[in-house]
Amino acid sequence: MHLPYADEKIEGVRVERYGEPSSLPSLLFVHGGTQGSWAWEHVARDLAGRGWHSSCLNWFGHHGSDALAPAEARERSIMDVTREIRVVADRLPDDPVLIAHSMGGLAALAYASKYPVKALVLLTPVVPGKHAGAEIPLPVDPATMWLIPAEALRQVFWDAVGDDEAQRYASLVVPESPRAVIEATRWTVDLDVSSITAPAYLLGAERDSVVPHEFVESLAEEMGAEYDLLPEQGHGVILNPIREDVAARISRWLDKTVR
């Protein structure tokens, strides 16, 4: 199926769009740390093919969005990504359905706690501190931009894809703010989600070594959100072959909730 595609920049934020606006709510995709809009190329295209206009943003300093000064890049919090979300959401014809992965999930929560959204879909999201447990003992130097070790990259994000696909994804990752990495591994963000009234759907992954599924389920319970567990899956649910099932689950939930 041929889908309309657009690649544009809005106030320094690069956005890739699939499909065309319609009477259905707009979908706005928020990627996780070290990644970019490319991480949504399968899920967003799938949902656009089902009639949902899909916009995939890039954080500042990621995959075509404006670069940040080195000091600002090092100090940037996950919560600061609400700025990019706001820039793109303001150009949509309606309040968006936010669909977010990993660190992007926490940014989406922060946005939804301040601004109206039609709905939230969070895939293996980094959670506020009250829903977390033990810290992840990941070495992080606050004075240096962080990159996931090469030997762990495939295992964490795309352990079930072929070599060519894995090499392509690896070539696209970028250094991340050490502050954001600390927030996502030491669970240092305290966020009150009680103001979020939009319907929400959360997905956890049984073998997730980054955000244990119990943390995601705890967040879903507090939010009164629908929750599903993906059996035998790790953190990379939007790039591994499970992505087709993930898109189908999201589509079914959207159909019954906001269509």
Summarised one tens digit per residue, pLDDT across range 58-85 is 999 999 999 999 999 999 999 999 999 9
User: In which band, very low, low, confident or very high, does the pLDDT at 151 lie, cut at 50, 70 and 90?
Assistant: confident
Asked whether the predicted pLDDT for residue 146 surpasses 70, the reply is yes
Q: Average pLDDT in the 31-40 region?
A: 98
Q: Average pLDDT in the 246-257 region?
A: 98
Percent of the chain with pLDDT over 90: 98
| β strands within 25-81, DSSP E | 27-30, 54-57
What is the reported pLDDT for 189? 98
SS (H, E, C) 199-257: CEEEEEECCCCCCCHHHHHHHHHHHCCEEEEECCCCCCCCCCCCHHHHHHHHHHHHHHH
Q: Average pLDDT in the 32-46 region?
A: 98
Q: Average pLDDT in the 232-237 region?
A: 98
User: In which band, very low, low, confident or very high, does the pLDDT at 52 lie, cut at 50, 70 and 90?
Assistant: very high
pTM value is 0.98
User: Residue ranges of the alpha helices (H) in the chain?
Assistant: 43-49, 70-75, 82-89, 103-112, 150-157, 163-172, 178-186, 213-223, 243-257
Asked whether the predicted pLDDT for residue 2 surpasses 90, the reply is no
Q: Average pLDDT in the 73-102 region?
A: 98
What is the reported pLDDT for 150? 84
Q: 191 near 78, Cβ under 8 Å?
A: no
**155-186: pLDDT as tens digits:** 999 999 999 999 999 999 999 999 999 999 99
What is the reported pLDDT for 130? 97
User: In which band, very low, low, confident or very high, does the pLDDT at 1 lie, cut at 50, 70 and 90?
Assistant: low
What is the reported pLDDT for 49? 97
Average confidence score pLDDT of the chain: 97
What is the reported pLDDT for 119? 98
Residue 151 CA to its chain's centroid (Å): 22
5-257 belongs to CATH 3.40.630.30: no
Extents of the domains making up the chain = 5-257
